Amino acid sequence: MIHTAYGDAGRLFVIVAFVSALVATFAYFKSVTSSTKLNDVLPWKRFARTAFFVHAAAVAGVVFCLYWIIGNHYFEYHYAWDNSSLSLPTEYVISSFWQDQEGSFLLWIFWNVVLGLILIVTNRSWEGPVMAIFALVQAFLASMILGVVIPGLDLKIGSTPFLLLREALPDIPVWTTNPDFIPKDGNGLNPLLQNYWMVIHPPTLFLGFATTLIPFSFAMAGLWTKKVKEWIRPALPWALLSAMILGVGILMGAYWAYETLNFGGYWNWDPVENTSFVPWLVLVGTIHVMIIGRKNATALKTSFILAIATFVMILYSTFMTRSGVLGNASVHSFTDLGLSGQLLIYLMTFVVLSVGLLIYRWKLLPSDEKEVSTYSPEFWIFIGATLLCLSGFQILATTSIPVYNAIAEGFGKILNLALPTDPIEHYNKFQIWFFALITILTGIGQYFWWKRTGEGKLNTLYPPLLISLILSAIFITLGEVRTISYIALLTAAVFSIVANGTILLNIIGGNYKLSGGAVTHIGVALMLIGILFSSGYTRVVSLNNSGLMISRSEEFTANDNKENKENVTLWLNKPSQMGKYMLTWRDVRIEPRYVPEYIPKGWVEIIENDFHAVALRDIVVNDKTYYKTGDTLEIYPENFYYEIEYREPSGKIFTLFPRAQINPRMGLISSPDIQRKYNKDLYTYVSMVTNPLDEGKWSPTEEFTVAMKDTFFVNDYVAILDNVVRTDQVEGVQLGENDAAVKAIIRVLDTDQEYVIDPSFVIRNRTVGRKAQVSNELGLRIQFNEINPQTGEFTFAVNTKQRDFIVMKALEKPLINVLWLGTFVLVIGFLMATIRRFRDFFKNQKREVAAVEIPEPKKRTPQRV
């Protein structure tokens, strides 16, 4: 049965959302431009508010319909089939909602609705102009998921998530024989996105994108209504909240990359990463100039420019990641759905409107009567904001290289500009110096801001500077920091912590609510120290000292055989020395649902192309039996965990379980496992594995007839038949009273280890059965074929194959916990500053309301004539 009702309802809700956003835009516009008489303004505002409420309800309807289709596995819809599958757990079914472009646009629209409703309730005096901008943005975003083709013009507007599979893929031959065909399962979620961080990272990031619209809308409203200074007070707390949420979203993405991707870090200067980082830098600069904008005319003008630039950068990043222009430059970018022209119109509309309005109102903006003194806090804050923007500009200028090429192609030219071959080295070359200067300014600026220093009082900076130099010298010596740029960054970070810490101690003694800025700056400095040591001084532990080349593939031979030198090969259950650790690859494990631990793959038989397995033995974990032999259990079918035992020189043992997925579309998808200590992380992932679902190719059978204690040679090993003994138990065989079974005890000698293989010979119901024994460690399969009572000899059939192995890489990342600690402190600082500014705004709003309240007229006493 094809559930067309939900798709039809979803499309209808999208149309209603688009139309109601346009109506709300017009009505809010009229509420601002109409006569200032109360009876003219209120009807338009009420009508606009109603239209926006209808828009909100329609967006909720769209979200519900799409979730219903995905959650109920209606694979007749292309979006559900392409992004979800029956094997996905609930949290990943939810995250498949925003895997594709349409869902992520819808997530953005949803957050804008939530924020718009909050603004209507909390900012009535600014509602008209602010919500006009909001509603216009919503109209553009809603158009992205319309999926309407205008007849005659062959013009497509948007891409709908409610396409049926037969509409999205009309050329599949199955439709001719079965028009109502519904796939039994979907493609599933991208393996890289099957991580709990990806359940919360995209919603957080898109909430960050959505919140940047608020300071932009207030800035536009201020220019529109000529309230060129008043807009800062209501906009500033939202700008702080936006910086906090967007920053947290970016850092969530970094932590996801650290836990999921195997490039050995958390930041790779990928173009898509950069397109979210640049708006955050500009936004932080915006906040700093907004703080001084009501007192300084230059800062006020800059506040308008940067508030506009932040939102425009969000739109530009959306264009870059969704137009397909970064298709060959980033693994994170979306493919082009034919929306690139529409995205460009969206971007250019708001560039023209905002820049045009700013130019039109520029003469209304005040000018400074005198130049800002270098001893004033405004000067240092302005310099810091300038450096933040320059840092963002450098990143953006390089990241936009594919855009330059695309523009040139549009004019018939070929530029052939290429992104840096080593992006980390390229960006770090500039960004280390930018952030060294910015970090120094966070300390100096705080001293000037709190009147601790100024003209004639520069000596107040000497104590924190001296303490910082002493501490930096100690850290440089102990950490063996030799690179000049690293020394500069470390010294700047230490100075920022000391200077802001000193200010913080003094503020806490008075009013701790004012300390948000100092706490935030300390968080930034801690993050930079963590980034410096964890990235700049990462140590490869898995050095290949065997002298043998692991692989001749380009991935391993590039950069002077880098990966051949920095990976080690492990054979199953064979200990191998790696630096100070003794490593042993013990097993391949799988992840069953509803069982608290990974279990050995050999405990179950995995059903091919399914997400179930049959238990070959009782599944017992922590003395609790979860499944009995023969039971069917649900598993995560793509995930295999490689049990790697680390033995330290002290004898302490710990085990890591790096994950690998053998994905038909993407090949080996490898995710690390991490042992965390207070001073470093040990980061381990597999670079190459034998397919755990592939039994391998066995050699032709070779037979050996031997007597007791005889030696025979199988492959490269020496084998000895030690004994043949009676047994009452044979795995997988139920023996009766009249049945008999024996097993051979065969010792196999490797170069430095001994193994025992015990194949069985069974007589059951007067029928001979042979139970082969497989040793994956040796790549041997031995079957007990015959017993000759006359000669006392035994015959064995032997097959060999490639021994199971893995190739793994291990890195030590020092002081990475300082980065995560700094992140926590940064968020706390932003939260403190945001709460304080919201409180100030609401207090001021109450005063304004009280001031404009009209007192009731006094009753006049009638006079006698």
Q: 523 and 826 in contact (C-beta within 8 Å)?
A: yes
pLDDT at 333: 53
DSSP state of 2: -
CA angle 656, 659, 663 (to 5 degrees): 165
Q: Would you place residue 458 in the very low, low, confident or very high pLDDT band (cuts 50, 70, 90)?
A: confident
Give the pLDDT of residue 156. Answer: 82
773 beta partners: 782
Convert 561-613 into a string of H (helix), E (strand) and C (coil): HHHHHCCEEEEECCCEEECCEEEEEEEEEECECCCCCCEEHHHEEECCCCCEE
Per the CB < 8 A criterion, the answer to whether 598 and 591 are in contact is yes
The better pLDDT of the pair 851, 135 is held by 135
Among 130-134, 485-489, 533-537, 602-606, the range scoring the smallest mean pLDDT is: 602-606
Percent of the chain with pLDDT over 70: 95
Considering 323-332, 399-408, 829-838, the range whose residues carry the highest mean pLDDT is: 829-838
The residues pairing with 584 across neighbouring beta strands, listed in sequence order, are: 645
Whether pLDDT at 853 is above 60:
no
Is residue 544 within 8 A of residue 808, CB to CB? The reply is no
Residue (of 65, 64, 67, 30) closest to 47 by Cα position = 30
CB of 106 closer than 8 Å to CB of 162: no
CB 89 within 8 A of CB 194: no
Residue 420, token pair as written in the block = 């840096």
Q: What pLDDT is recorded for position 499?
A: 93
pLDDT of residue 864: 47
Instruction: Give CA–CA dist 695/230, Å, rounded.
Output: 72
- pTM: predicted TM-score of the whole model, two decimal places: 0.90
- Residue 242 scores a pLDDT above 80: yes
Instruction: Give CA–CA dist 671/682, Å, rounded.
Output: 14
* Helical segments of 96-212, H only: 101-122, 127-143, 165-168, 174-177, 197-211
Residue 474: pLDDT band with limits 50, 70, 90: very high
Query: Contact 741/733 with Cβ under 8 angstroms?
Result: yes
Contact 300, 293 (CB under 8 A): yes
135, 50 contact by CB (below 8 A): no
Q: For residue 324, is pLDDT > 80?
A: no
Does pLDDT of 71 surpass 70? yes
For residue 623, count CB atoms less than 10 angstroms from its CB and return exposed for 0-12, middle for 13-18, buried for 19 or more.
Answer: exposed
Could you give phi then psi for residue 566, rounded to 5 degrees? -110, 15
The HSE-up count of residue 555 (CA atoms within 13 Å, CB side) is 7
Residue type, 478: L
DSSP for 333-376, please give it: PPPP-S-HHHHHHHHHHHHHHHHHHHHHHGGGS---SSPPPTTS
**C-alpha distances in Å from residue 20, one per residue of 46, 58, 88:** 14, 9, 36
The predicted structure's pLDDT at residue 153: 67
Residue 307 pLDDT class (50, 70, 90 cuts): very high
pLDDT for residue 440: 95
| DSSP assignment of 722-733 | EEEEE-S-BTTB
- Structure tokens belonging to residue 107: 């997530």
User: What pLDDT, in 10s, does the model give residues 699-735?
Assistant: 999 999 999 999 999 888 899 999 999 988 887 777 8
Residues 6+ apart with CB under 8 A from 586: 572, 573, 643, 644, 645, 655
pLDDT at residue 777 greater than cutoff 90: no
Angle in degrees, 0-180, between the axes of helices 340-361 and 213-224, rounded to the nearest 10 = 40
* Neighbouring C-alpha atoms within 13 Å toward the C-beta of 696: 21
Provide the pLDDT confidence category of residue 510 given band limits of 50, 70 and 90: low
pLDDT band of 767, cuts 50, 70, 90: confident
Distance CA 566, CA 688 (A): 13
Instruction: Provide the 3-class DSSP secondary structure of residue 483.
Output: coil
At 620, is the pLDDT very low, low, confident or very high (cuts 50, 70, 90)? Answer: very high
3-class SS of residue 264: coil
Residue 134 contacts residue 116 (beta carbons within 8 Å)? yes
Between CA 689 and CA 802 the distance in angstroms is 12
Mean pLDDT value of segment 211-225:
96
H or E element: which one contains 283?
helix 271-291
Dihedral (CA of 141, 342, 238, 333) sign: positive
Rg (CA), the chain: 34
Helix, coil or strand: residue 332: coil
Using alpha carbons, select from 298, 135, 108 the residue that is nearest to residue 202.
Answer: 108
Q: Which tens digits make up the pLDDT trace of 261-286?
A: 888 889 989 888 999 999 999 999 99
Structure tokens at 340: 């690139």
**Tokens at 331, concatenated:** 């693994």
**DSSP state, residue 266:** S
Say yes or no to pLDDT of 865 above 50: no
454: its two tokens: 């100024």
Q: At what angle do helices 271-291 and 213-224 cross, to 10 degrees?
A: 50
Give yes or no for residue 850 having a pLDDT over 90. Answer: no
**Residue given tokens 């390089």 in the structure block:** 398
DSSP secondary structure string for all residues of 635-653: B-TTEEEEEEEEE-TTS-E
Owner of token pair 């065989």: 733
Q: What is the mean pLDDT of the chain?
A: 89
pLDDT of 214: 97
Question: What is the residue type of 402?
Answer: P
Per-residue model confidence as pLDDT tens digits over 384-436: 999 999 999 999 999 999 889 888 888 888 888 888 988 999 999 999 999 99
Q: Which residue has the higher pLDDT, 354 or 187?
A: 354
Among candidate residues 673, 862, 710, 686, the one with its CA nearest the CA of residue 794: 710
Look at residue 811 in the predicted model and tell me its pLDDT.
Answer: 95
pLDDT at residue 794 is higher than 90: yes
CA–CA separation, 306 and 239 (whole Å)? 11
Percent of the chain with pLDDT over 90: 62
Could you tell me which of 220, 56, 224 has the C-alpha nearest to residue 138? 56
Tell me the average pLDDT across 26-39. 79
Give the pLDDT mean for 504-511: 78
Question: HSE (CB half, 13 Å, CA atoms) of 437?
Answer: 15
Residue type, 603: W
